[in-house]
Amino acid sequence: MSVDLSDRYGTNRSLGRIVVVGAAVLVVAFVGWLAWATWFHSTPEVTSELGNYSVVDAHTVEAQAHVRLEDDADASCKIRALADDHAVVGELNFTPVDGRNELTIRTERRATSVDLVGCTTDGQNRPR
């Protein structure tokens, strides 16, 4: 009498089933990471935008920055004054309050435009 080994010990798992389960685990992990990354980057602790600005004289620019802060956010912002040749002629780092911030930037020479680089917090390194 001959005994079939597959009847006695069972058959090997198919490689296809292992690949499908592994691929499903990877897809679920990727979708979870993608959802987290989307949520994290769409809800920053601080955002800012430049309001009006005016060149007062050759060494002074006044500007408004509108900042939205989360409740306990400790932010730092940077604004720059630029000349005709796009050189930075003045720069101001400030700690914002929620809402409108009135700023006076001292410049080396006459500025023609203002650039709000953005605001950052400890957990948000990219200026916004």
Residue 127 included in any domain: no
Q: Are residues 60 and 99 in the same domain?
A: yes
Extract the tokens encoding 97.
């309050």
pLDDT at 123: 83
Q: Are residues 55 and 38 in the same domain?
A: no
Q: Are residues 111 and 63 in the same domain?
A: yes
The pLDDT tens digits for 39-74 are 988 888 899 999 999 999 999 999 999 999 987 889
Tally the domains of the chain. 2
Domain of residue 97 covers 46-120
pLDDT at 37: 92
Q: Are residues 52 and 114 in the same domain?
A: yes
Q: Are residues 24 and 86 in the same domain?
A: no
At 66, which CATH number? 2.60.40.150
pLDDT at 60: 96
The b-or-e profile of 99-118 (16+ CB within 10 A means b, else e) is eebebebebeeebeebbbeb
The pLDDT tens digits for 93-128 are 999 999 999 999 999 999 999 999 999 998 888 888
Strand order in the sheet with 76-82: 88-94, 76-82, 113-120
pLDDT at 43: 83
Residue 11 included in any domain: yes
pTM of structure? 0.70
The pLDDT tens digits for 12-24 are 767 788 889 999 9
